Amino acid sequence: MREHPWRPSDAPRQDGRVAVITGANSGIGYETARILATLGARTVLACRDPERGARALERLRLEAPGAQADLALLDLASLASVRDFAEDLPAERVDLLINNAGVMALPHRTTADGFEMQFGTNHLGHFALTGLLLPRLLTADAPSVVTVSSGLHQQGRIDFGTPHAPDRYRKWGAYNRSKLANLLFSGELHRRAERAGANLRSSASHPGVATTNLSAVGPTLEGRARVGELMVRAVGLVGQSELAGALPTVRAAVDPSVPGDAYIGPTGFFGVRGAPRFCRRSRAARDRADAAALWALSEELTGVTYRWN
């Protein structure tokens, strides 16, 4: 029997639940926050830029009247900011943590802590955030963590000798590496929660190719804004809307039929677009030894240790 296309109308109500969404000021992060707010969740928009975050909050309140929503500042490229966010978060409990924010194919940059920007933001920042919010997650009845990866994780490779600062920087290789790290982290978090007897579901998603401004950031930083504009237009020809790109993440977060360690994404047209369904990750993303090694390295680099009791 063929699985029917999943829609937000299939989702159970989220009244009384608290959802934290990183990078919620635009793109699939904003759409994820808007859908969860419409379902009744109290949403926390975790954004780096206060002005863009404020505009997103105003827009959400217009598009989802009556929504409970807050703005909190978070820069995943700064471990100090991650710690401040986790300490000051205006919620005693977190039911849903959506690790969505990310950067893609940037020229070489480093985070405030000296890590390669894409690995540091996309993986290490979310690793630290999840660990610091773990006590609030474990307070919830059925907490869920969703980490957003990419189909390009299949081209990712991690060199544990220089995982965040390779000798030769390639912007797409660095992006693919960070997205592979997202999946290794998500799977290892699921297994560690199981071993600890914690009722926490860790799953992953990918948006396919969604028409967001993410693909324009790298060229713009290189002084090629026109190229960035053309890339966004090209993505629009083959990809899907921001709303459609958000649906795999929303399904992973709220669909009770999604088990821990699932990977949800569009499965139509080579995974570029389509309804959110269960999909396969690469063999490298299923390597449990690498996942454990990455976890240990991430603890060492961030100084964050997960405590399950």
**Which are the catalytic amino acids?**
175
Q: Which two tokens stand for residue 300?
A: 């060492």
Asked whether 176 and 289 are in contact (CB, 8 A), the reply is no
Asked whether 278 and 251 are in contact (CB, 8 A), the reply is no
Sign of CA dihedral 293, 296, 299, 300: negative
Strand 144-148's sheet: what is its strand order?
69-73, 42-47, 18-22, 96-99, 144-148, 201-205, 263-268, 273-278
Q: Which two tokens stand for residue 135?
A: 């006590």
Q: For the residues of 37-65, what is the DSSP string, one character each?
A: HHTTPEEEEEES-HHHHHHHHHHHHHHST
Sign of CA dihedral 153, 156, 157, 159: negative
Q: Which two tokens stand for residue 217?
A: 């950031």
